[in-house]
């Protein structure tokens, strides 16, 4: 066994590039994090293709009505769905044999809440404008409520897959969804020109959601129960406390992403807002990189708390490398990228460059939020998210209302928004930086080997029957006071006396 372990320890040095990559991806943290980042890229490409095809094959009014309905049910479902994802990633690794009940409860509770929100939205249809006039029909209204529930499950199921460490299914799910809705969009252009945009999106969700949940309940949850340990599942009170803190904080983060465009739209001209909104969506996609890393960090940190520090360092390092490349591309290529859309979009060049820089402090903040979720620090989690949301929305609101975004420097309004977002996000990140550094330093001994690597140490075990064996096994983390790990019998580490 010692010879075999020695050969395995030497394998990474002799493997070709493909083999090393395979070895790297054998680590659950790396595999799930990269799967979520691939999902981000596929969503962006297929989502852009969907709207380009819609603009070319459908009348502008039909695209407007369809996109308004899609925006409405996405927003209503996301208010609950996105904000319970943190709770799923925090507690699913601990639910053990109660995993199925926990997932079912999450589905039912989130569905009940989005039904209430959807009914309230439908009841107030006269207030929402002509784009939603079709919901005045009772049949269309009932269908819309059902679509909101479907959209909620579509969102929550991603959190379930991440919590079960099955993130590799997320890009598969969203790629199939993107392809199906794109094919339906083209097919319905002549058959159903008035509602093809809306119907293709909804049918695409249904085609993916139904078989994926058969997979989740028929295979993944069953396997999770079969491999569950004997640990104690979280209590209802513990889940409620964490959900309350994380949900309140997530609402503020949610508002920062969705309220800022509304504020900007109320101040600037429509053509200026068009430039702003496209850049804001690009920044939103960029933010998904650290968010996905933080989700994987939370799950793996719960499964293996002893390696949470190693996972944190890895997440920071990977986010930094990826965002550095993205920032260079966006910063240097902003005039070219925006110029392709037309000369009117060049006014957002500086805004795109500023938001690309903002991705760095935001990445550090998201990774810290992942650490707090893994440690169950719901109050600290809520404080950071609330502070971030207030800082961004508050600074942008004051800057636009008091000085039209010029900031006393004659800046264009949307450039001023970019400056305010960068400054506010940097300030919040600097406020949590000391806590993050203390965590990394104080927990260094408990960090374990970096994700994807296992260091083997040779030890000699003297058993009770006085027979001596030599083996190579992964080391256990040192105790908080630095004492050697405790093993049955007497243990002599090679080199120790």
Helices (H), 342-412: 349-374, 378-403
Give residue for tokens 């993107």: 178
Q: Give the side-chain half-sphere CA count within 13 A for 401.
A: 8
pLDDT at site 206: 92
Partners of residue 469 on adjacent β-strands: 461
What is the b/e burial string over 339-351, where b = at least 16 CB atoms within 10 angstroms of the residue's CB?
eeeeeebebbbbb
| pLDDT, mean of each 10-residue run, the chain (497 residues) | 42 51 60 74 78 78 78 80 72 77 86 90 81 84 92 87 81 89 91 87 91 86 67 72 74 78 76 77 82 82 83 88 87 84 81 91 92 85 89 88 70 88 94 92 53 44 46 47 44 39
Rg (CA), the chain: 25
Residue 21 corresponds to which tokens in the numbers above? 């990559």
Distance from the first to the final alpha carbon of the chain:
24
∠ CA 280-282-283, rounded to 5°: 65
Pairwise CA distance, residues 289 & 320, whole Å? 10
pLDDT at site 181: 92
Contact indicator for 365, 384 with CB cutoff of 8 Å: yes
Residue 473 corresponds to which tokens in the numbers above? 């096994």
């Amino acid at each position: 066994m010692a010879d075999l372990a020695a050969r395995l320890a030497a394998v990474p040095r002799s493997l070709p590039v493909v083999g090393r990559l395979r070895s790297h991806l054998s680590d659950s943290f790396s595999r799930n994090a990269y799967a979520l980042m691939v999902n981000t890229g596929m969503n962006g490409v297929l989502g852009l293709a969907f709207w380009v095809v819609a603009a070319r094959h459908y009348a502008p009014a039909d695209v407007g009505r369809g996109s308004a309905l899609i925006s409405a049910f996405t927003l209503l479902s996301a208010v609950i769905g996105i904000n319970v994802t943190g709770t799923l990633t925090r507690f699913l690794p601990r639910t053990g044999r109660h995993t199925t009940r926990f997932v079912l409860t999450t589905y039912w509770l989130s569905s009940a809440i989005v039904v209430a929100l959807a009914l309230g939205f439908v009841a107030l249809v006269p207030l929402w404008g002509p784009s939603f006039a079709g919901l005045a029909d009772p049949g269309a209204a009932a269908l819309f409520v059902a679509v909101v529930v479907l959209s909620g499950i579509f969102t929550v199921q991603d959190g379930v897959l991440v919590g079960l460490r099955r993130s590799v299914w997320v890009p598969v799910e969203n790629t199939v969804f993107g392809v199906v809705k794109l094919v339906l969009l083209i097919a319905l252009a002549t058959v159903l020109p008035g509602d093809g945009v809306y119907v293709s999106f909804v049918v695409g969700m249904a085609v993916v959601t139904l078989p994926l949940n058969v997979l989740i309940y028929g295979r993944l949850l069953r396997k999770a129960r079969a491999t569950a340990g004997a640990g104690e599942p979280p209590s209802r009170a513990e889940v409620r406390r964490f959900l309350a803190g994380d949900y309140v904080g997530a609402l503020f983060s949610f508002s920062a992403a969705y309220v800022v465009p509304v504020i900007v739209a109320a101040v600037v001209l429509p053509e200026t807002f068009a430039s702003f909104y496209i850049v804001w969506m690009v920044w939103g996609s960029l933010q998904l990189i650290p968010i996905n890393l933080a989700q994987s960090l939370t799950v793996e940190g719960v499964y293996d708390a002893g390696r949470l520090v190693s996972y944190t360092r890895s997440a920071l390092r990977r986010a930094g490398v990826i965002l550095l490349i993205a920032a260079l591309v966006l910063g240097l290529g902003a005039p070219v990228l925006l110029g392709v859309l037309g000369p009117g979009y060049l006014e957002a060049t500086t805004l795109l460059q500023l938001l690309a820089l903002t991705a760095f402090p935001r990445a550090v903040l998201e990774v810290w939020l992942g650490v707090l979720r893994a440690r169950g620090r719901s109050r600290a989690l809520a404080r950071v998210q609330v502070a971030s949301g207030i800082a961004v929305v508050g600074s942008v609101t004051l800057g636009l209302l008091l000085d039209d975004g010029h900031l006393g420097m004659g800046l264009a309004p949307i450039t001023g928004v970019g400056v305010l977002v960068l400054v506010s996000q940097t300030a919040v990140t600097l406020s949590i930086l000391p806590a993050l550094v203390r965590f990394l330093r104080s927990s260094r001994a408990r960090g374990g080997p970096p994700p994807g690597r296992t260091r083997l140490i040779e030890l000699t075990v003297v058993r009770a029957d006085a027979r001596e064996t030599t083996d190579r096994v992964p080391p256990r983390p040192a105790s908080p006071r630095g004492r050697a790990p405790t093993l049955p019998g007497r243990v002599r580490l090679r080199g120790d006396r």
